[in-house]
Structure 1
Amino acid sequence: MRLFPVFTLLLLLLHSSGLALQIQCYQCEEMTHDCSTPEFVVNCTVNVQDMCQKEVLVKDDGIHYRKSCASSGACLIASSGYQQFCTGKLNSVCIACCNTPLCNGPRQKKRPQSAAAAAVTLPVFSLSVFVLLSSALR
């Protein structure tokens, strides 16, 4: 019974830290333009669809895009299965998976994360979990 409040607090910490739960991706079917605009943003299914998927198909009439939410297992299997067809030539199919919000949109310049922010986030989270668990086990 004492662990229920600790478990609840742990879930709240996970939720507030963004370590799990929900991701946003672009979603469209067979678009002839890159559908990376706000009207194509969707919330993926919590704790199920943990990745964004992007398919680029080269057809007779041009490049087509498919974007969606995906589970990591399904996306990684699909992307590895289509690697041999990712040539950039006619009838090419390229599938990519990523796990950050809206990562299936256009390529963005990489911004280096502040070393101070990266160094503080994990220890603070770990310390919070340690304090909660040790107080529950008393």
Structure 2
Amino acid sequence: MRLFTVTTFFLFFLESGLALQIQCYQCEEMTHNDCSTPEYIVNCTVNVQDMCQKEVLVKEDGIHYRKSCASSGACLIASSGYQQFCTGKLNSVCISCCNTPLCNGPRQKKRPPPSAASVPNKQHFSVLPLSILFLTHRNFG
């Protein structure tokens, strides 16, 4: 019965179109700004690119930014592989991954924690289907 409920819940989100496509900033080797303006916003590939990736490279001529859509697996592997090179010094390479819309843009100002009565928005559902699959696999697999 639990599997049926979880499957039904998952299919509801698939059919409703929630959290199946994310928007990210996308640019290559930007130096004069970090390409966090509307003209750099792209729609990522539905059901494939579920994360935003941000690379910050420190070179002799300044800080360079690369931003893109990514699959969660590829992004997490890349970010962990470059962790040792993320020093903030010359020739540093830092790669980060995130899964909410436009999260590879400028840092957001700290907001107060949402109240318990707040209504969930699309950002909260971006990892929900994956979580459901993980729990389903963990409990029944």
Q: Distance in 2 between matches of 1:75 and 1:31?
A: 20
Measured at CA, do residues 15 and 53 of structure 1 come closer, stay the same or move farther in structure 2, by a change above 3 Å? farther
Aligned CA-pair RMSD: 2.6
- 1:73–1:118 Cα change, 3 Å: same
- The structure richer in helix per residue is 1
Q: Distance in 2 between matches of 1:114 and 1:14?
A: 27
Query: Contact 1:15 / 1:21 at 8 angstroms: preserved in 2?
Result: no
Equivalence for 1:27: 26
Alpha-carbon distance in structure 1 between the residues aligned to 2:17 and 2:110: 22
Shift of 1:12: 5.2
Count of residue correspondences: 114
Q: 1:15 to 1:41 in 2, by over 3 A?
A: farther
Q: Which runs of 5+ in 2 are unaligned?
A: 1-6, 126-141
Please report the TM-score for the alignment, with normalisation by the length of structure 2. Answer: 0.72
The alignment's TM-score, normalised by the length of structure 1, stands at 0.73
1:6-21 equivalence runs, <5 A: 11=11, 13-16=13-16, 18=18, 20-21=19-20
Q: Distance in 1 between matches of 2:75 and 2:10?
A: 29
The structure 1 segments of at least 4 consecutive aligned residues displaced by more than 3 Å after TM superposition are: 7-17
Which of structures 1 and 2 has the bigger CA Rg? 1
1:46-91 per-residue CA deviation (whole Å, 9 max, x = no partner) reads: 0000000000000010000000000000000000000000000000
Whole-angstrom CA distance in 1 between matches of 2:64 and 2:10:
43
Between the aligned residues of both structures, percent identity stands at 83
